[in-house]
Amino acid sequence: MLRRCVLALLCGLPMLATAQERPIAFTGATLLPISGDPVENGTLLVHRGRIVAVGADVRIPADAERRDMSGRVIMPGLIDTHSHIGQAAGGDNSAPIQPDVRVLDAINVRHAGIAKARAGGITTANVMPGSGHLLSGQTLYLKLRRGNRIEDLAIRLEDGRLAGGIKMANGTNPMRAAPFPGTRAKSAALMRAQLVAAQEYCAKMADPKLPADRKPARDLGKEALCGALDGSRVVHHHTHRHDDILTVLRIASEFNLRVVLQHAIESWLVVDEIAASGVPVSTLLLDSPGGKLETMNTNNATPAILHQTGILTGFHTDDPITDSRLFLRQAAMAVRNGMPRDAALRALTINGARMLELDSRIGTLEPGKDADFIVLSGDPLSVYSHVLESWIEGERVFNRADPDDALRATGGWGAGRDEIETDVLQMESGT
Partner 1 sequence: MKRALKSIALGLLLAAGSLSAQDLAVRAGRVYPVSGPAIDDGVVLIRDGKIDKVGPASRVRIPDGMRTLQANVVTPGLVDGRSVVGLSGYLNQPHDQDQVEKSAPIQPHLRAVDAYNPREVLVGWLREHGVTTVHTGHGTGALVSGQTLVAKTWGNAVEAATLKAPAMLAAQLGSGAFGAEGKSPGNRSKQIAMLRAQLIKAAEYRDKLRAAKGEARPARDLELEVLVDVLEGRLPLLVTAWREQDILSALRLADEFGFRLVLDGAAEAYLATDAIRAARVPVLLHPTMARQFGEMDNASFTTASVLHRAGIPFAIQSGYEAYVPKTRVVLWEAAVAAAHGLGFDAALASITLDAARILGVDDRVGSLEPGKDGDLVLFDGDPFEYTSHVTAVVINGQVVSGTVR
Give the footprint of partner 1 on this chain (CB under 8 A).
286-293, 295-296, 320-321, 323, 326, 329, 332-333, 335-336, 381-386, 410-416
Dmax (CA) for the chain in angstroms is 69
Bond before 320 cis per omega within 30 degrees: yes
**Helix 341-348 with 327-336: angle, nearest 10 deg:** 150
Least distance to partner 1, CB of residue 199, Å:
37
Give residue 11's identity as a one-letter amino acid code.
Answer: C
Least distance to partner 1, CB of residue 289, Å:
6
Give residue 305's identity as a one-letter amino acid code.
Answer: I
Q: Which is nearer to partner 1, 228 or 381 (CB)?
A: 381
Q: Give the chain's end-to-end CA distance (angstroms, integer).
A: 17
Q: How far apart are CA 123 and CA 85, in angstroms?
A: 13
CB neighbour class for 244 (10 Å; exposed up to 12, middle 13-18, buried from 19) = buried
Q: How far apart are CA 274 and CA 272, in angstroms?
A: 5
Rg (CA), the chain: 22
Least distance to partner 1, CB of residue 89, Å:
16
Least distance to partner 1, CB of residue 159, Å:
38
Least distance to partner 1, CB of residue 213, Å:
52
Give the DSSP H or E segment for 332.
helix 327-336
Q: How far apart are CA 406 and CA 414, in angstroms?
A: 12
Least distance to partner 1, CB of residue 99, Å:
27
Cα–Cα distance list, 407 to 116, 325, 378 (Å): 9, 12, 20
Q: Which is nearer to partner 1, 143 or 263 (CB)?
A: 263
What is the dihedral angle through the alpha carbons of 89, 94, 99, 103, rounded to the nearest 10 degrees?
Answer: -10
Q: Which is nearer to partner 1, 44 or 332 (CB)?
A: 332
Least distance to partner 1, CB of residue 113, Å:
9
Q: Which is nearer to partner 1, 30 or 194 (CB)?
A: 30
Q: Which is nearer to partner 1, 182 or 291 (CB)?
A: 291
Least distance to partner 1, CB of residue 292, Å:
6
Give strand pairing partners of 66.
25
Q: Which is nearer to partner 1, 289 or 310 (CB)?
A: 289
Convert 176-187 to b/e letters by CB count within 10 Å (16 or more is b): eeeebbeebeeb
Q: Which is nearer to partner 1, 60 or 321 (CB)?
A: 321
Q: Give the contacts of 67 (CB within 8 A, at least 6 positions apart).
A: 24, 25, 26, 27
Going by C-alpha positions, the residue among 410, 379, 428 that lies closest to residue 115 is 410
Taking residue 383's Cβ as centre, other Cβ atoms within 10 Å add up to: 10
Least distance to partner 1, CB of residue 182, Å:
18
Q: Which is nearer to partner 1, 278 or 289 (CB)?
A: 289
Q: Which is nearer to partner 1, 111 or 143 (CB)?
A: 111
Q: Which is nearer to partner 1, 359 or 402 (CB)?
A: 402
Q: How far apart are CA 337 and CA 300, in angstroms?
A: 6
Least distance to partner 1, CB of residue 47, Å:
34
